[in-house]
Chains A and B, each alone.
Chain A
Amino acid sequence: MNPWLIAVLRFLAALGLMLLNGVVMIYMLRKVLGRLHIRLGPMDNGPWGMFQTVFDVLKLLTKEDPTPRAADKLLFFLAPVIVFVPSVMAYAVLPFSRTWVIVDLPYGLLFIFAVMSIIPLGILAAGWASNNKWSIIGAMRVVGSQVTYEVPMLLAALPVVMMAQSLSLSDIVAAQSGTFLWILPRWFAWNVPALVLFFIAGLIEAGQTPFDLAEAESELVAGFSTEYASMKFGLLFLAEFSNVFLFSALMVTLFFGGWQIPWVSPEFTQPIAPVVFMLKTYLGIFFIMTIRGTLPRLRVDQMLATGWKILLPAALAWVMVTGFIIKFGQMFVGPR
C-alpha cells in the first residue's frame, strides 16, 4: 500500500479517536459529577442521556461564529489550531498495543513532552488575541503554571526512564511486563513518589481541578476561551479533554504497565491490548474527574509556591535517589 495513504489513515485514526474521546469524556464527566452530587446527570436525550453530547457537538457546529471587533483577527483564528494540533500530534506515539502505535519513535516520551509544551503558546495566543481581561488573565495563568510544572513533570518521568533504560514508550511498557517478589506486577507505579509527583504536575499540565486556574469559572468566566464561540470554542474544549486523555494514557504507559494485564503473559494480552489500554486510561480519567468533583481550587500563589518550592526540589531529589538505588541495585544484585 502507498505509504502516504497509510500515514493519512493513521492520522485520521488518531483524529477520530480524539473526537470520539471528547464526546465520550464530556458525557462521562457530566455523569460522574452528577453521581458525585447524588443526582443523575443528563437523562433526556437517548437512553440514559447518551446522545446529549452528540447534540451538543451538533449545536456547536451550527452556531454563529462571531469575532470580537477588538480582537487580533489572525491570531484569534490561529489560536485554536495551535492548541488543537499538538494535542492530535501527541497521539502519534501512544502505544495501544505492541503493534498499534502510529509511529514508534525511539524517543516518544520526549516527543510528547515537546509537543505538549506548544499548547500553552496557543492558549496565550488565544488569550491575547481575544483582547479581553478575563482571557488575558486566564492565559497568563496558564503560561505561569505550565512554565512552573513542565520541569517537575519531566523530572518525575525521569526515574521511569532510568528504570526502563529507554525513552521509547513501547520499551517502557515492555520493561513493565512480568512480576517481582512472586506476586506484585512489575509496574513502575511502585516508585510511588515519582508517580505522585507526575500526577500532581500532570493535573496542572492538563488544566484540571484543583489547578484549573486557567478557566476558573467562578472567577474568570471561561478564562482564555471567553470570547470564543462555535467550533473554535469546540476545538479549545476538545483539546482540553484530549489533554486529560493524553495525561491519563501517559500515566498508564509510564507507571501502570501500559496495555498489559498483570500476571498474564503479553502474548495472551496481545489481541485485547487496545481495550485494556483504554480501560486503564479511562480508570485514570475517572479518578481525575472525581478529584474535579471533590477538591476546591488553589490560589495562584499557592499553586506557584507548590510548584517551585516543593515539587521541583522533590522531583530533583527523587531523580537522585532513584539513580542511587538503581546503581546500588546493579552493584549488589547485578543487572536486571
Chain B
Amino acid sequence: MRIYGTGILKSMLIAYRNMLRKPITVQYPQEKIELPERARWAVALEYDEEGQHKCTGCLACVRACPDYVLDLQMTTAEDRSKHIDHYRYEIGACMMCGLCVEACPFSAIKMSHDYELARIDPDTLTVDLLTDVPAAVPKRKTPAVEPAKATAEAPAAAPATPAAEPAEPAVPDGGADV
C-alpha cells in the first residue's frame, strides 16, 4: 500500500542525512585538489636538462591544431639553420585537446597543469611561447650507426620508393645537418 506523503518524508530524511555528512567541496583558493597526472590544461614548453627549449620549428603542432590556436613563424637561413620569429598560443580559443602535444615529434611542448586561465586583460590571452630565438637542433640518440646505414641504403632505396621521401625529411633532416 502506498501512503501519501512517504516520498516527502523519505526525501526529508535524505536531506537531513546529507547535513551530517562532511562537505565534499574544497575552499578553492586556499586549498586545491591535486590534478591527475595526465590532466590536460594550457599548452606549455618543455625544456631539456640545460634549460633549452626543444622546438625545432617543424610546424607539426600548428598543422595538428584544429582551432588554429598555435601560430609559429619561422625563417630558414642560407645554411638551412632555422630561426623561430614567434611561436604564439591563443589560450582563449584553446580547448585543451592535446593534439599538438601528440603531434610534436620532439616533445617540445606539453599539456601543463596550469588551469587558472582567467585573465583581467584580454590582451594577455595570447601567450608568446617563443620569440626570436634559434630553433633547437634535435639530438640523435644513436648517431654512430645511423649515418653509415643512411649512406649505404640511400642510393638503393631512394629511386625504389620515391613516395616515402617527402615524409622523411621532416624528422631526420635536422639531424643530418649537424
Chain A residues in contact with chain B, CB under 8 A? 32, 34-40, 43, 290-291, 293-295
Q: Tell me which of A36, A38, A290, A295 contacts B24 (CB under 8 A).
A: A38
The answer for the CA separation of A290 and B19 in the assembled complex, in Å, is 9
Task: Assess whether B11 is in contact with A40, with CB atoms less than 8 Å apart.
Answer: no
Least distance between A115 CB and chain B CB atoms (Å)? 31
Given A294-B12, A295-B11, residue A40 in contact with residue B27 (CB < 8 A): yes
Task: Assess whether A38 is in contact with B18, with CB atoms less than 8 Å apart.
Answer: yes
Interface of A is mostly: helix
The size bracket of the interface on B is 10 to 19
* Contacting residues of chain B (22-37) with chain A, CB-CB under 8 angstroms: 22-25, 27
Chain B residues in contact with chain A, CB under 8 A? 8, 11-12, 14-16, 18-19, 21-25, 27
Task: Assess whether B19 is in contact with A35, with CB atoms less than 8 Å apart.
Answer: yes
Task: Assess whether B8 is in contact with A295, with CB atoms less than 8 Å apart.
Answer: yes
The 8 closest A-B pairs by CB, nearest first: A294-B15, A39-B25, A35-B19, A40-B23, A38-B24, A39-B23, A294-B11, A36-B15
The answer for the CA separation of A39 and B21 in the assembled complex, in Å, is 9
The answer for the CA separation of A32 and B23 in the assembled complex, in Å, is 12
Least distance between B127 CB and chain A CB atoms (Å)? 30
The answer for the CA separation of A250 and B22 in the assembled complex, in Å, is 34
Apart from A32-B19, A293-B15, 14 more pairs, CB < 8 Å = A34-B23, A35-B18, A36-B18, A36-B19, A38-B24, A38-B25, A39-B23, A39-B24, A40-B25, A43-B27, A290-B19, A294-B11, A294-B15, A295-B11
Least distance between B104 CB and chain A CB atoms (Å)? 40
Least distance between B33 CB and chain A CB atoms (Å)? 14
Identity of the chain A residue whose Cβ is nearest the Cβ of B24 in the assembled complex: A38
The answer for the CA separation of A291 and B23 in the assembled complex, in Å, is 20
Q: Can you give 26 A-B contacts (C-beta < 8 A)?
A: A32-B19, A34-B23, A35-B18, A35-B19, A35-B23, A36-B15, A36-B19, A38-B18, A38-B21, A38-B22, A38-B24, A39-B23, A39-B24, A40-B23, A40-B27, A43-B27, A290-B12, A290-B16, A290-B19, A291-B12, A293-B15, A294-B12, A294-B14, A295-B8, A295-B11, A295-B12
